[in-house]
Structure 1
Amino acid sequence: MSETIALIDFGAGNLRSVHNALIAAGASGIAVTNDPDVVAAADRIILPGVGAFGACRDALAAIDGMIAALDERVHGKGTPFLGICVGMQLLADKGIEFGEHQGLGWINGTVQAIEAPSADIKIPHMGWNDVTPTPRSDPGEGAHNLILAGEAYYLHGYHFDATNTDDILATTHHGVPLVSAVGRDNIVGVQFHPEKSQAYGLSFLKRFLEWKP
C-alpha cells in the first residue's frame, strides 16, 4: 500500500514546485492539504514555507487543530517530518523578525537576522552554496544520514541559531557559518530549497521518501 504524504498548505509555501519535485523524486500519494485530519493520518509530513517567520507561524496557527495534529503525529507517532526554508525555521523556539514570535519549539534555537561581516557580503543569502554535513563520531541511523555534501539553492535573510550543536546536521558559509539543516529523531529541516536544487535536491527528497527513522 502506498504512503500518504501530507504537503501542508497554509498559504505560505511554494507548493507547486515542491509537489512537482516530490513527483520527480518518485513520490506518489501526495495530499496537498490544510486539513488536520489528513495530517493526523499521514505517513510523512512536509511543511514548506516562504516569507516572514511571524506571518508563517500565524498562518499555520490559524488552521484550527493543525498544530495539535502536527504535535500528535510527529511527536506522538514518530512520523517522518520535513520542514523546508521557513518550514524549517518554524521548528525553533522563536523567531526574531518584525518582532518576536513563538515557533513550534521542536528544535531548540532562535531564528534571527543574518549579520553580514562586511559590505561585500550581500543579504539575503541567495543562490547556490555548499551543504557541508556536520562530522559525527557515531553515524548511527539518525536524520543526519539524509544530508550529503553538495551544493543547493538558498534564499533567506534569517538563519537558525541552534542551541544544541548536536541538532545541526549541516552548515554552509556566507561570510559567516550558517545552518543548512537541523534534525533530531524523526524530524529534519533544511534551509535550502530542494525543489530548486536540481539533482542534489531531488536526491535529498528521494532519501527523505525512503527514510525510516
Structure 2
Amino acid sequence: MKVSIIDYGAGNIQSLIFAFNRLGVHPVVTDHPKLLAEADRVIFPGVGEAGSAMAKLRQHGLEEVIPQLKQPVLGICLGMQLMCAYSEEGDTRGLGIFDCEVKHFDRKLKVPQIGWNTITNLKSPLFKGIEENSYMYLVHSYYVANNPHSIATTKYGETYASALHRNNFYGTQFHPEKSGEIGAKVLENFLNLKD
C-alpha cells in the first residue's frame, strides 16, 4: 500500500507518519504530482491559517492537482477545510471539492475548541467498527456547518460536520493521528476503503 502525504509546509506531518508506521505503512511525504497520482491513498494534512496555506498550495502547484486525484484522499483539520469552497478565515477561496463554507465559531464560544469531543451520526465505511459518541481530538476555531456531505457530526455550540465525504474525497475535522486507538481505526478504515 503506497500512501503519500501532501507536503506543502502546512501540516503536523510527523505525528501522521508515526500513526501510519504503527499500522505497518511507511508513507512518502511529497509535493510531486506524479508521486501523488501514483499513490494508493493520499493524506492532505493541515495546521495553520487558511489563506497562507492556500498560498502555499498554489506555490507548490497543488491547487489543480489535488481535486483531480482519483484514489481515496483524506483531508485532516485544515486540510478538510481547504477542500471546501470558501473559508471566512482570511477570506479564502478553497479547492471547491465540497460545496461548503467554513465559518468562525460563535464569538460567545471559547476558541479554539481544543481537546476531546464526541462524533455522532456516523455514516461511512470510514467509521466501520467505531461506536456513536466516540471521542476524537480537535483543535480548531472554524467549522463546516452540517450539510449533505456530512458523515459525522460534533456539537460545540451548534452541531457541525466533523467529517465529510464526496466521491473519492474524505475529510475529518478531528485529528485521527492524535485520537488514540479509535483514531487509528479511522486511519485503518481509510486504508481499507474500496476504491
The answer, yes or no, to whether TM exceeds 0.5 is: yes
Change (3 A) 1:115 1:63: same
CA deviation vs aligned residue, 1:76-120 (integer Å, no higher than 9, x gap) = xx310000000000111011113x11111011111110115x4xx
Q: Unaligned regions of 5+ residues in structure 1, if any?
A: 137-143
Q: Following superposition of structure 1 onto structure 2, how do residues 123-202 of structure 1 map, counting pairs within 5 Å?
A: 123-134=111-122, 144-147=124-127, 148=130, 149=132, 150-161=134-145, 165-202=147-184
Distance in structure 2 (CA, Å) of the matches to 1:107 and 1:71 = 10
Q: Following superposition of structure 1 onto structure 2, how do residues 4-83 of structure 1 map, counting pairs within 5 Å?
A: 4-28=2-26, 30-64=27-61, 66-73=62-69, 78-83=70-75
Distance in structure 1 (CA, Å) of the matches to 2:55 and 2:121 = 32
Indicate whether 1:86 and 2:78 are aligned.
yes
Shift of 1:61: 1.2
Shift of 1:133: 2.4
- How many residues end up aligned between the 2 structures? 191
Q: Unaligned regions of 5+ residues in structure 2, if any?
A: none
Shift of 1:26: 3.0
Aligned partner letter, 2:88: I
Q: Following superposition of structure 1 onto structure 2, how do residues 101-120 of structure 1 map, counting pairs within 5 Å?
A: 101-116=92-107, 118=108
Q: Identity across aligned pairs (percent)?
A: 36
Give yes or no for contact 2:145–2:159 (8 Å, CA) kept in 1.
Answer: no
Shift of 1:174: 1.3
Give yes or no for contact 2:138–2:175 (8 Å, CA) kept in 1.
Answer: yes
Give yes or no for contact 1:27–1:209 (8 Å, CA) kept in 2.
Answer: no
Shift of 1:22: 1.2
Distance in structure 1 (CA, Å) of the matches to 2:79 and 2:135 = 20
CA deviation vs aligned residue, 1:168-189 (integer Å, no higher than 9, x gap) = 1111111221221011121110
Distance in structure 2 (CA, Å) of the matches to 1:72 and 1:168 = 21
Give yes or no for contact 1:128–1:154 (8 Å, CA) kept in 2.
Answer: yes
Give yes or no for contact 1:85–1:190 (8 Å, CA) kept in 2.
Answer: yes
3-state SS of 2:148 partner: helix
CA RMSD, Structure 1 to Structure 2 (Å)? 1.5
Larger radius of gyration: 1
